[in-house]
């Protein structure tokens, strides 16, 4: 019996419909009973889910906000900022300091890591090389000067460019320092007509006000004992959150005019930002961080065992997953749980061959439908997960199970104890499959403590080998892919996908991870109630991703701030 729909109907029933659901704060157990027609494109049961309600607002009047963090720009944010400020022809030279992963996210790593001496040296080089390219542009974007023949032009350029690069108006002493530098450069390099602009640019790009996101907040005039981010800080927060880059002129104008501090003005800007093509950048960025897609560049497989492997397979696999994400969010505007169940994917020739599908396009990626009721579906049926969470020569039920526990359900496991014999005992003659060999983990109490949490999930995916090809046998023995995820039994990957999508921790994990991505830190305990509200409203939206982006941007946690911690 491999038809997951039968299982799904048996388990969830068909009598549920959306209007019968009642939100119970702090308990998402009811998600088990959501009509699965939201997730799988079968005929709707009962009423059609309403369109996302974009008027939702989060009102946690009692939120005690957290202190501000000091985030460094990640490599991607730096690159996006340069592209937005100076145009896509400007190439950021290699050498930006690697990002640190903390709590699974680069966005959190950016608020705890320090720039090393090597990083400072390379940043300085990069700023010089960028300035070399930028001053050749005519006119220089960002460095507006309406009347370029005018003697004051350098100062005008400093004011206009500085505001966009530092995301705030420059103070007078800052303008005069930069002007002095620009004039010194002109004097020192008389043969270079753009020496002033060149060194002003280097200084702006080397400054902490470009390299860090500086936010302190201010007293909230409505409730002076509370603090909020300033309008300029909010503009910057919104743009790094929704665009992974610096704010544009319009957003800064909305901050200048104070419009951004009104509910209506804020909503208007958020809607504008959600409608911009730049929103895709942030969506790709978040899913790449969350789903561990960045390290796919380091994917290594033994090509003698996996002929589909090549050095760029990891990059192809990442693109497949990100296109799937974009398709679900932007083209279908669908329930985000379709990530786990979608039968649509995007393959290049090599991925198509790996999946045993006909390639639909000669170059690049083409959209394909996976076979109806086949076992490969969703992101857990993709190479980006199956090959990455595995060994170079074989699959790994443990790594795959651990990824699902930690990344998709936010259930971190302790690390293995030291001085423990980690070798799997040599298999007996009957132990052919990985499952047979790992069964000892369950018999040994010191192993079972963690492996009981990971391996049984991974066994459900054993039909995919170490690179993600479908198989029915391991070592000649039939693969048993039945299992149980916290009380939900499954038979094969397709039912496992459903078990994860309907797991009571899945949506809270998504929301909390996305909130962490937006705020550069883990949620505080004071934010728990607010997160529950966000979850509830996300559910009300039909689990539509744009709704969640909007909800987070409007949340008190995103707009209010405590004093800097001592």
Binding-site ranges for other proteins (CB under 8 A): 67, 70, 94-95, 97-98, 100-104, 109, 112-121, 124, 128, 177-178, 181, 184-185, 188-189, 199, 202-203, 206-209, 212, 214, 216, 298, 300-304, 309, 311, 391-394, 412, 414-416, 418-424, 426, 564-566
Closest approach, Cβ 411 to other proteins, in A, equals 12
Indicate the residue among 67 and 374 with the shorter CB distance to other proteins. 67
DSSP labels for 259-320?
GGGSHHHHHHHHHHHHHSTTHHHHHHHHHHHHTT-GGGGG----TTT-TT--TTHHHHHHHH
Q: How far apart are CA 38 and CA 338, in angstroms?
A: 8
Indicate the residue among 344 and 389 with the shorter CB distance to other proteins. 389
Closest approach, Cβ 396 to other proteins, in A, equals 8
Closest approach, Cβ 188 to other proteins, in A, equals 4
Indicate the residue among 39 and 354 with the shorter CB distance to other proteins. 354
Question: In sequence order, what are the beta bridge partners of 489?
Answer: 484
Contacts 24+ apart (CB under 8 A), 143-151: 143/197, 143/201
Q: Which of 479, 346, 488 is CA-nearest to residue 409?
A: 488
- Beta strand spans in 43-131 (E): 71-72
Q: How far apart are CA 486 and CA 323, in angstroms?
A: 31
Closest approach, Cβ 120 to other proteins, in A, equals 3
Indicate the residue among 6 and 120 with the shorter CB distance to other proteins. 120
Query: Which two structure tokens, joined as six digits, stand for 314?
Result: 């990891």
Closest approach, Cβ 456 to other proteins, in A, equals 19
Question: Contact 194/240 with Cβ under 8 angstroms?
Answer: no
Question: Contact 351/371 with Cβ under 8 angstroms?
Answer: no
Indicate the residue among 227 and 494 with the shorter CB distance to other proteins. 227
Question: Would you call the peptide bond into 139 cis, given omega within 30 degrees of 0 as the criterion?
Answer: yes
Question: Contact 218/230 with Cβ under 8 angstroms?
Answer: yes
Indicate the residue among 139 and 208 with the shorter CB distance to other proteins. 208
Indicate the residue among 91 and 311 with the shorter CB distance to other proteins. 311
Residues for the chain: how many in total? 566
Closest approach, Cβ 168 to other proteins, in A, equals 13
Q: Is 557 exposed, middle or buried (0-12, 13-18, 19+ CB in 10 A)?
A: buried
DSSP labels for 160-172?
HHHHHHHTSPPPH
Q: How far apart are CA 106 and CA 114, in angstroms?
A: 13
Indicate the residue among 33 and 212 with the shorter CB distance to other proteins. 212
Q: How far apart are CA 18 and CA 21, in angstroms?
A: 6
Indicate the residue among 298 and 443 with the shorter CB distance to other proteins. 298
Indicate the residue among 22 and 419 with the shorter CB distance to other proteins. 419
Q: Which helix (H) or strand (E) holds 127?
A: helix 117-134
Indicate the residue among 125 and 331 with the shorter CB distance to other proteins. 125
Per the rule left: phi > 0, alpha: psi between -120 and 50, beta: everything else, 154 is alpha
Closest approach, Cβ 16 to other proteins, in A, equals 37
Closest approach, Cβ 298 to other proteins, in A, equals 8
Question: Contact 23/498 with Cβ under 8 angstroms?
Answer: no
Q: How far apart are CA 566 and CA 320, in angstroms?
A: 45
Closest approach, Cβ 459 to other proteins, in A, equals 17
Indicate the residue among 178 and 549 with the shorter CB distance to other proteins. 178
Indicate the residue among 47 and 121 with the shorter CB distance to other proteins. 121
Closest approach, Cβ 98 to other proteins, in A, equals 5
Question: In sequence order, what are the beta bridge partners of 344?
Answer: 369
Closest approach, Cβ 45 to other proteins, in A, equals 40
Closest approach, Cβ 536 to other proteins, in A, equals 28
Closest approach, Cβ 8 to other proteins, in A, equals 34
Q: State CA 133 to chain mean position distance.
A: 31
Coil/strand/helix, residue 105: strand
Question: Contact 202/131 with Cβ under 8 angstroms?
Answer: yes
Query: Which two structure tokens, joined as six digits, stand for 511?
Result: 């929301």
Q: How far apart are CA 292 and CA 384, in angstroms?
A: 9
Indicate the residue among 217 and 492 with the shorter CB distance to other proteins. 217
Query: Which two structure tokens, joined as six digits, stand for 29?
Result: 């157990």
Query: Which two structure tokens, joined as six digits, stand for 151?
Result: 């003697």
Question: Contact 163/169 with Cβ under 8 angstroms?
Answer: yes
Closest approach, Cβ 68 to other proteins, in A, equals 8
Measure Cα distances from 378 to 40, 138, 327, 345 in Å: 11, 47, 12, 8
């Amino acid at each position: 019996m491999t038809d997951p729909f039968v299982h799904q109907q048996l388990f969830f029933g068909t009598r549920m419909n959306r209007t019968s659901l009642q939100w119970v704060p702090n308990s998402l157990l009811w998600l088990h009973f959501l009509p699965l027609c939201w997730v799988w494109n079968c005929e709707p049961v009962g009423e059609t889910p309403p369109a996302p309600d974009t008027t939702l607002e989060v009102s946690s009047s009692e939120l005690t906000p957290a202190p501000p963090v000091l985030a460094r720009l990640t490599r991607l944010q730096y690159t996006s900022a340069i592209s937005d400020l100076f145009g896509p022809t400007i190439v950021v030279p290699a050498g930006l300091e690697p990002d640190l992963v903390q709590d699974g996210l680069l966005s959190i790593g950016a608020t705890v890591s320090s720039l090393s001496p090597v990083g400072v040296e390379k940043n300085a080089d990069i700023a010089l090389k960028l300035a070399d390219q930028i001053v050749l542009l005519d006119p220089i974007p960002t460095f507006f000067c309406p009347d370029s023949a005018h003697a004051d032009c350098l100062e005008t350029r400093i004011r206009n460019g500085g505001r966009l690069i530092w995301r705030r108006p420059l103070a007078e002493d800052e303008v005069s320092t930069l002007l002095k530098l620009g004039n010194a450069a002109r004097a020192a390099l008389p043969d270079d007509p753009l020496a002033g602009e060149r060194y002003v640019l280097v200084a702006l790009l080397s400054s902490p006000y470009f390299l860090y996101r500086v936010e302190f907040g201010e007293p909230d005039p409505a409730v002076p004992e509370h603090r909020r981010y300033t309008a300029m800080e909010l503009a910057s927060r919104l743009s790094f959150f929704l665009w992974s880059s610096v704010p544009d002129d319009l957003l800064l104008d909305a901050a200048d005019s104070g419009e951004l501090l009104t509910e209506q003005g804020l909503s208007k800007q958020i809607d504008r930002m959600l409608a911009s093509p730049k929103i895709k950048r942030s969506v790709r960025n978040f899913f790449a961080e969350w789903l561990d897609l960045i390290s796919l560049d380091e994917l290594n497989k033994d090509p003698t065992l996996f002929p589909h492997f090549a050095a760029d397979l990891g990059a192809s696999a990442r693109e497949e997953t990100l296109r799937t994400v974009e398709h679900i969010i932007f083209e279908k505007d669908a329930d985000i749980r379709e990530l786990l169940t979608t039968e649509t994917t995007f393959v290049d020739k090599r991925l198509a061959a790996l999946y045993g599908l006909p390639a639909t396009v000669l170059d690049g990626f083409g959209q394909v439908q996976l076979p109806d009721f086949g076992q490969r579906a969703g992101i857990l049926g993709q190479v980006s997960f199956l090959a990455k969470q595995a060994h170079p020569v074989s699959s790994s039920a443990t790594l795959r199970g651990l990824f699902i526990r930690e990344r998709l359900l936010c259930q971190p496991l302790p690390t293995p104890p030291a001085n423990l014999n980690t070798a799997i005992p040599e298999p007996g003659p009957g132990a052919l499959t990985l499952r047979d060999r790992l069964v000892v983990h369950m018999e040994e109490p010191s192993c079972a403590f963690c492996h009981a949490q990971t391996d049984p999930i991974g066994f459900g995916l054993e039909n995919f080998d170490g690179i993600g090809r479908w198989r029915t046998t391991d070592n000649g023995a039939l693969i048993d892919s039945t299992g149980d995820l916290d009380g939900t039994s499954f038979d094969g990957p397709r039912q496992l996908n459903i078990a994860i999508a309907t797991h009571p921790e899945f949506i809270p994990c998504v929301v909390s991870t996305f909130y962490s991505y937006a705020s550069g830190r883990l949620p505080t305990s004071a934010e728990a109630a607010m997160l529950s509200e966000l979850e509830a409203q996300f559910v009300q939206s039909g689990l539509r991703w744009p709704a969640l982006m909007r909800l987070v941007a409007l949340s008190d946690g995103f707009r209010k701030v405590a004093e800097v911690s001592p």
